[in-house]
Structure 1
């Protein structure tokens, strides 16, 4: 447990006031590097002792959230006390820090931010980004919770992400694809090296995809990190004659094989479920079949192929994620349309996402996202039309897009709302229409 810092006069603030304060601490929103955040962490005592009995860190382009959610669910089903740190959040900042499945309350987060502020101002003042301060707060909360396991989700990259100030006992790379090009570039081998920056010497590295660039395994080899790769040291297969049931086989750190049959479909990528189980075995958990079945059968992750009536909400915002969504999106009932409501940030591969979704979606509603990173609906509309899609309406917000669709949806229509955490968050914050109107034709279509 980190020591509390010596008293330092700190202005009392609510959680919301702290979050507003964090936005003023650094001149840019993203500033890759560990020097500043490590100094503050040392002042807080976070690097003096392990923050939990075991730490699993998850990096990757896609699949981090679902892998973390399944690690958490399975470990808690076995009686472990688990804490998690994730980002971004959908509706409440509290979602980022969970202890034993419960979101951290405002009071705990405020205490954490007070500790960060005292450390930041102790001696020479140190500037922190919003994410860095939030990560330090989250780590402080978890370190004081006496946990068996902490699972950390990397925010951006890996090597230079604030989460990487903590040494992982087990490190996971889920997938590698292009995203955050402004910071990570477009070279997949280099992106792989950045993600693999969470690996530690002689500690297990779990590779959760069979299509990772070779640079990921090479980084593990240089560190003499025991490597466990999907399709090699661990794998999953569908079970003959049992719909939606699958078998997992993996390895203990000593090379002993372990197999679990008749696992349920968790509604999340099976590659990530298999990766979660392998990482837990390496963390020292003795898996029990019935507990794994119950955990995977009940795991929930908002915003990932989440169905609310005829609406499917997914936060996917790069082509790799969009391809997965398309592959798991059921056809609408006979006579129904598959609509797409899309809102994105302008630093994403917008054309690539549209191209991936276009194989299933012809009818679109485009929505603007606010902020300097938000892409305007008119820009999205032009890009969709350029690829042959039909844009029926451009709205100035996700909520306005929903309001328009409420007047045209039929009972057999289905809507995929996607493109950004911001898009999905806006829809989760309001009721969604089920569709009972008649479509008047294509009079509103933009050509």
Structure 2
């Protein structure tokens, strides 16, 4: 009998591009889905966008759980264990759940003509199998890449959210916000609620929503937020207003945009999935998401952030500026080669005193010299390391109790440091 490790190795071997392989398109996954006879028996929410997808899914997941629903949530990538990608009622799926689902997908794949699914496609179909077996009452699906041709888009959302549109994955989605906006908008459906939390949405997104007659709600026009004292208030275009909401437990100005979009989802599906204002308040206060400006140490402070594109790193920089006074900021960074490395590091220029850059020994990983060259172009001093763990150990050795260490650049980077934190230095 195959273990989860066996199955994941099998998934990597199925497609020529392996775990990191990207081959957009819905035909393969749709054919296997048809053999599986997967049926949608509960509301489905699809969440896309360049940044903020994970936060938005986390808010929806906890608020619906606190409202008494059985919630299935699929997100990617994972930090430490694959099980994190498939959650039922906030808990990662067990190895047994996943292995059983993988076996069913494998049988269907063969029946459909031995289709070479990608790692993500196989995992998406298996996640649905888990949710169906566990009788989920609402399913939240996070887009892996883009939207229009992403595997999760083979399902039909009752509500779709685009958190924002920025330049990332340009090799696959296009080099402009207009091109990327069109791909993100592909998760919208005719006659169904579509929500966009980008304050300046690309015209391509607006045009697509109009062309298919989606019920589009835009932040700043149809819903929004305002700070009020120690909290904030939400309002929508129909006159609904919720005052005295707590600051989200996740940090950053973008979180009020994400939370506002979430409340708009909750209102949109209120007839099918009613929730209480108390569940919203508790969810905002209790939500957690590893690796999103996560502070894991004091004296020195250690901040973990998976930010890996210029927009997300700019948000990290803003959070660091509002964090308080520190003697020095030491950055530990490693990134994938297909990211805008120069743009991302430039977003932190002036906020870092010591740069410790590392290579990533994973497919698409950038060598440390690439990052070092980008830092040198910014005029910063830099040290190079073969791995994030080595860079982090150096940071710990350098940092005084009034310093802080900011770890960022990739899920791989944060995962490596989490593992290092659990290992005696």
Cα contact 1:332–1:413 (8 A) shared by 2:
no
**Equivalent residues in 2 for 1:137-148 (5 A)?**
137-148=126-137
Q: CA deviation at 1:278?
A: 0.5
Cα gap change, 1:105/1:204 in structure 2, threshold over 3 Å: closer, same or farther?
Answer: same
**1:420 aligned residue:** 410
Cα contact 2:35–2:112 (8 A) shared by 1:
no
Cα gap change, 1:147/1:257 in structure 2, threshold over 3 Å: closer, same or farther?
Answer: farther
Which of 284, 290, 313 lines up with 2:304 in the alignment?
A: 313
Distance 1:341 1:170 in 2: 38
**Equivalent residues in 2 for 1:143-158 (5 A)?**
143-158=132-147
**Equivalent residues in 2 for 1:387-406 (5 A)?**
387-391=378-382, 393-406=383-396
Q: CA deviation at 1:188?
A: 1.1
Deviations 1:347-402 (A, max 9, x none): 000000011011311311001101341111122111101111111x2111111111
Which of 283, 291, 300 lines up with 1:303 in the alignment?
A: 291
Distance 2:73 2:46 in 1: 10
Cα contact 1:332–1:414 (8 A) shared by 2:
no
Q: CA deviation at 1:289?
A: 2.5
Query: Is residue 274 from structure 1 mapped to residue 260 from structure 2 by the alignment?
Result: yes
Q: CA deviation at 1:292?
A: 1.3
Cα contact 2:330–2:399 (8 A) shared by 1:
no
**1:290 aligned residue:** 278
Distance 2:239 2:324 in 1: 44
Could you say what the CA RMSD is over the residues aligned between the two structures, in angstroms? 1.7
Cα gap change, 1:335/1:22 in structure 2, threshold over 3 Å: closer, same or farther?
Answer: closer
**2:85 aligned residue:** 96
**Equivalent residues in 2 for 1:30-179 (5 A)?**
30-46=22-38, 49-50=39-40, 52-122=41-111, 124-179=113-168
Deviations 1:286-306 (A, max 9, x none): 443222111110000000000
**1:364 aligned residue:** 355
What TM-score do the two structures reach when normalised by structure 2? Answer: 0.94
Cα contact 2:332–2:395 (8 A) shared by 1:
no
Distance 2:65 2:343 in 1: 38
What TM-score do the two structures reach when normalised by structure 1? Answer: 0.89
Number of residues paired by the alignment?
A: 413
Structure 1: state its 5+ residue gaps: 1-11, 436-447
Q: CA deviation at 1:74?
A: 1.2
Query: Is residue 17 from structure 1 mapped to residue 6 from structure 2 by the alignment?
Result: yes
Q: CA deviation at 1:144?
A: 2.1
Query: Is residue 182 from structure 1 mapped to residue 168 from structure 2 by the alignment?
Result: no
Cα contact 1:25–1:128 (8 A) shared by 2:
yes
Q: CA deviation at 1:257?
A: 3.3
Cα gap change, 1:125/1:335 in structure 2, threshold over 3 Å: closer, same or farther?
Answer: closer
Q: CA deviation at 1:406?
A: 2.0
Cα contact 2:326–2:404 (8 A) shared by 1:
no
Deviations 1:113-134 (A, max 9, x none): 0011000111521111111111
**1:264 aligned residue:** 246
Deviations 1:71-121 (A, max 9, x none): 111111111221100010001100000111111000000001001100011
Structure 1 residue ranges (4+ consecutive) displaced by more than 6 angstroms after TM superposition: 432-435
**2:345 aligned residue:** 354
- Secondary structure of the residue aligned to 1:280 is helix
Q: CA deviation at 1:433?
A: 10
Structure 2: state its 5+ residue gaps: none
Cα contact 1:205–1:227 (8 A) shared by 2:
yes
- Secondary structure of the residue aligned to 1:23 is helix
- Secondary structure of the residue aligned to 1:407 is helix
Distance 1:330 1:214 in 2: 33
